[in-house]
Amino acid sequence: MSDTYYLKYRPQSIDDLDIKEVRDSLSKIAKSGKIPHAFLFSGPKGTGKTSAARILAKVVNCEKPISKGVPCNKCDQCKSITLGNNIDVIELDAASNRGIDDIRALREAVKLSAAKAKKKVYIIDEAHMLTLEASNALLKTLEEPPDHVIFILATTNPEKLISTIRSRTTNINFRKAKIEEVIESLKRVAKGEKIKIDEELLKLISVKGGGSFRDAAKILEQLVTEKVSFKKDDVIKALKLSKDTDIEEFIELLSQKEAKKLIDIVEGNINSGSSISNFLEGIINNLRKGLLEKVGIGETKIESLTKEDLVTLLELLLDASEKIKSTLIEQLPLEIAIVKWCEKGNQNVSDGNDKEDLTPTKDNDEPKEEIKVIKKIETKVTQTLIEGSSKIAEITEENWKIILAKLRTINSTIEALLRATKPIGFDGNTFKLGVFYKFHKERLEDVKNRRIFEDTVTEVLGKPIKLVCTLTEPPKREEVVIQAPSKVENVLTEGQDKDIIKIAEEIFNNN
């Protein structure tokens, strides 16, 4: 999707910033005239961190400020910063300039005075991607910065920055945007583009945007580009959202523990092209509101479910929501959660002895149909496993082959990283992985990659595991060949070491 709307209507002054707390904090700093030499802008993507950084660059460099801390947006400095071609405002992507050599070059460059502006401003995006060595090198500059330089570090993961850098910067927290704030941002776009759209539809777009101003603007632009009529049903269909009535019906069926009907609705969503993730998010949001009402917050009542029921359901569905991100079958985690919920406290469920003469709890219950539903889910679970691997209790060479083959189908990037590793221990709970290179270790320890690996190995071994990565010396060049499901490849950790870093870096640079 294009960024045209977002870039065209991004805030150009502090007063234009959409998040009130950010607006207030930066306004106080700007008007004080005492601008810190280093900032840390932290928060989710699309919340305006880079826009705010550019505005701050205008504040310190504007040639004809309207008032103290308020740039004119008309002088040469302001215009060039808006266009992104000001030679004294340098924007760096830490994901591409993460090494010690990059930061050493930066340290040399900051010694030079600004070419035309009053201050040189370095905006370092995704600062958490800097290596430890690069971070320590940057720290030295932050501790003794030249008077003519200001650093603005932007990151979605401030906890990954070393604590000494965080302590040397003025932190501005960009929280996830509220729906009302995103709506106001969209109204600014709609007015500028002369788009006639109801606030109710702007709210749907804001929800879909997930608290990101940028994503919401992209969605609106896509709807306009695809010439979607701004009728509620058409927008819901285009955004693959679920209607409120569908969610209400689903929650009512949950209270009745109607497994078959619930799964039919899930299948219907898949067949209609709707997003299961969005559908599940709507259910979770409604259940949350119902839970809050039970403790005296809000007015969304769900009378058919108790507080305990709501807590249990939310736990099941939140777990399903996490697993959807890495499962082979999108709807499977939700289907499993449905079956677990409908089985809970229900005596008409198999006790594990495969008996089918179950006693229904209501006269109109159909236990045999429910058994078929449960078996259908069990069949789908079985299909996601590699045959014969669900009861493995140790890491043999054969088991490792199965894990790699399965990961290749789920996430080829992780499988490529594992070419520079080898299993070095397994005690039934902790899976110890020897990793030959720091780059690979950092990537495998990333929260998302770690979860995918742990979930996959748990599925293969039939027991939950925890991944622990340890830097290990690469083995001597000794090639080990693994038979993959469809062809023979050199995929184990030993051999071809000189190509490993190149392979992984190419993968991540293309992502």
Sign of the four-CA dihedral 211, 217, 218, 219: positive
Instruction: Pick the closest to residue 367 from 260, 262, 265 (CA basis).
Output: 260
- Report which of 10, 12, 40 is spatially closest to residue 25, judged by C-alpha positions: 40
pLDDT at 242: 53
Q: Mean pLDDT across the chain, nearest whole number?
A: 81
pLDDT-derived band at 326 (thresholds 50, 70, 90) equals confident
41: pLDDT strictly greater than 70: yes
Instruction: Kindly report which listed range (32-46, 133-147, 267-281, 453-467) carries the lowest average pLDDT score.
Output: 267-281
Q: Give the list of residues 6+ apart from residue 136 with CB closer than 8 angstroms, or none.
A: 162
**pLDDT given at position 82:** 93
Burial class (CB in 10 A: 0-12, 13-18, 19+), 196: exposed
Question: For residue 319, what are the contacts with CB-CB under 8 A and spacing of at least 6?
Answer: 333, 337
Q: What is the mean pLDDT of residues 22-48?
A: 93
Please check the confidence at residue 315 and state whether its pLDDT lies above 90. Answer: yes
Return the number of other C-beta atoms located less than 10 Å from residue 89's C-beta: 26
- pLDDT value of position 268: 79
**The pLDDT value given to residue 473:** 83
Measure the CA–CA gap between 57 and 90, rounded to whole angstroms: 10
**Which of 2 and 166 is assigned the larger pLDDT?**
166
207-230 tens-digit pLDDT? 888 788 998 999 999 899 888 888
Q: Token digits for 4?
A: 């045209």
Span 421-458, pLDDT tens digits? 999 888 878 899 999 888 888 889 888 888 889 888 88
For residue 181, what pLDDT is reported?
92
Number of CB atoms found within 10 A of residue 62's CB: 21
Phi, psi of 48 (to 5 degrees): 100, 20
pLDDT digits 0-9 by tens, 72-125? 999 999 999 999 899 999 999 887 777 788 888 888 899 999 999 999 999 999
As a whole-number percent, the residues of the chain with pLDDT over 90 amount to: 36
Q: Give residue 420's pLDDT.
A: 87
**pLDDT at residue 173 is higher than 90:** yes
Residue 344 pLDDT: 76
Specify the pLDDT at position 355. 39
In one-letter notation, the amino acid at residue 100 is: I
Q: Give the ranges where 272-331 is alpha helix by DSSP (H).
A: 276-294, 307-324
Query: Is 45:65 a contact under the CB 8 Å cutoff?
Result: no
Lowest mean pLDDT among 65-69, 162-166, 335-339, 346-350: 346-350
pLDDT value for 352: 40
Tell me the pLDDT tens digit for each residue of 382-417. Answer: 444 334 333 444 578 877 888 888 888 888 888 888
Least confident of 175-184, 269-278, 421-430: 269-278
pLDDT reading at 372 higher than 90 = no
Residues in contact with 263: Cβ distance below 8 Å, sequence separation at least 6, in sequence order: 335, 338, 373, 376, 377
Please tell me which residue, 380 or 265, carries the higher pLDDT value: 265
488 confidence band (pLDDT: 50, 70, 90): very low
Is the pLDDT assigned to residue 371 strictly greater than 80? no
* Mean pLDDT value across residues 480-493: 43
List residues bridging with 488 in a β-sheet.
Answer: 483
Sequence-distant (≥ 6) Cβ neighbours of residue 49 within 8 angstroms: 41, 42, 43, 125, 154, 174
Average pLDDT (270-275) is: 70
